[in-house]
């Protein structure tokens, strides 16, 4: 679990630094940057399969005030290359024809599943008598929910609600799996399961809310640093 947490933190730092570099290069060309978003799945669909490629989407305005968007490809030693510049209106027209599956926040779904598994590694293996909410969920693994929510909010700021909702559901899903397993063995267990779900929801909302708040602050700090 700790290796996963360290990996998420390192990846978050890399994404934040690269986003800052993209903002700085565009600002140096006289562009007013609105936002930069990391596209974690784009390299698999663009033919760039190697780990050293990271693809971003930037939205900005030029000197005339026209709103544009482009793709930024960052490599470890090759710097940043800007591709596919086009008007935002054209970008929105293409997005409107995108299938529904493409609009699902898959990054949030995957992160919520990872957080659920991390929490469940300890929660599911504990004996029934050892379970005591909320202390059984307030473990070091819960920091992964905060870290993932913060990272998602930073790279996908316009999906705040989906990030908050899905990451908050990670502890709830962990508890639901344990309740279902225990009830299958002993139907008389978990007589107060609605309260268990409510407590898990509160813990998840608090952790996800903290992460979203940290991600929002990091995004504002990055925008301020890039504009100075």
pLDDT at 3: 62
Please write down the HEC assignment for all residues of the chain: CHHHHHHHHHHHHHHHHHHHHHHHHHHHCCCEEEEEEECCCHHHHHCCCCCCCEEEEEEEECCCCCEEEEEEEEECCCEEEEEEEEEHHHHHHHHHCCCHHHHCCHHHHHHHHHHHHHHHHHHCCCCHHHCCCCCCCCCCCHHHHHHHHHHHHHHCHHHHHHHHHHHHHHHHHHHHHHHHHHHHHCCCCCCCHHHHHHHHHHHHHHHHHHHHHHHHHHHHHHHHHHHC
Q: Are 144 and 199 in contact (CB under 8 A)?
A: no
Nearest by Cα to 56 from 79, 34, 72: 72
Locate the domains of the chain by residue range. 15-96, 104-227
- Bridging pattern class, strands 54-61 and 67-75: antiparallel
Q: What is the pLDDT of residue 167?
A: 94
- Backbone φ and ψ for 41, nearest 5 degrees, come out as -95, -5
Task: Give the pLDDT confidence score for residue 77 in this predicted structure.
Answer: 67
**CA pair distance 161, 169, nearest whole angstrom:** 12
> Which pLDDT score is estimated for 228?
53
pLDDT at 90: 47
Residue 201: the pLDDT is 95
Q: What is the pTM of this model?
A: 0.64
The pLDDT score that the predictor gives to residue 74 is: 85
Structure confidence at residue 154 (pLDDT)? 82
CB 172 within 8 A of CB 166: no
What integer pLDDT is reported at residue 22 of this predicted model? 87
Check residue 93 and give its pLDDT: 43
Q: How far apart are CA 11 and CA 158, in angstroms?
A: 20
Crossing angle of helices 2-28 and 142-155, rounded to 10°: 20
Q: 11-23, pLDDT tens digit by residue?
A: 777 777 788 888 8
Structure confidence at residue 97 (pLDDT): 45
Cis link prior to 134 (omega < 30° from 0)?
Answer: yes
The pLDDT tens digits of the residues spanning 65-110 come to 888 899 888 876 668 888 888 887 644 444 444 455 556 677 888 8
* Span 158-217, pLDDT tens digits: 788 999 999 999 999 999 999 999 999 988 888 888 999 999 999 999 999 999 999 888
Of residues 148 and 224, more confidently modeled? 148
Among the ranges given (52-66, 140-154, 161-175), the one the predictor scored with the smallest mean pLDDT: 52-66
Say what the pLDDT of residue 94 is: 43
Torsion of CA 150, 115, 43, 67, to 10 degrees: -30
């Amino acid at each position: 679990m700790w290796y996963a947490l360290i990996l998420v933190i390192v990846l978050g730092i890399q994404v934040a630094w690269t986003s800052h570099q993209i903002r700085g290069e565009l600002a140096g060309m006289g562009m007013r940057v609105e936002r930069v978003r990391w596209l974690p799945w784009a390299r698999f669909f663009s033919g760039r399969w190697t780990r050293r490629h990271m693809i971003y989407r930037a939205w900005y305005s030029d000197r005339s005030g026209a709103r544009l968007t482009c793709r930024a490809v960052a490599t470890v030693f090759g710097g940043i290359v800007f591709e596919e510049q086009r008007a935002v209106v054209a970008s929105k027209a293409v997005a409107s024809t995108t299938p529904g599956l493409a609009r699902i926040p898959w990054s949030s779904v995957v992160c919520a599943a990872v957080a659920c598994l991390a929490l469940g590694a300890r929660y599911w293996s504990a004996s029934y008598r050892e379970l005591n909410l909320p202390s059984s969920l307030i473990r070091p693994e819960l920091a992964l929910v905060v870290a993932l929510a913060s990272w998602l909010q930073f790279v996908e700021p316009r999906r705040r609600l989906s990030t908050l909702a899905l990451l908050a559901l990670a502890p709830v899903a962990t508890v639901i799996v344990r309740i279902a397993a225990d009830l299958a063995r002993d139907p008389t267990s978990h007589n107060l399961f609605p309260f268990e779900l409510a407590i898990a929801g509160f813990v998840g909302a608090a952790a996800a809310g903290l992460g979203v708040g940290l991600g929002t602050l990091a995004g504002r700090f990055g925008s301020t640093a890039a504009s100075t």
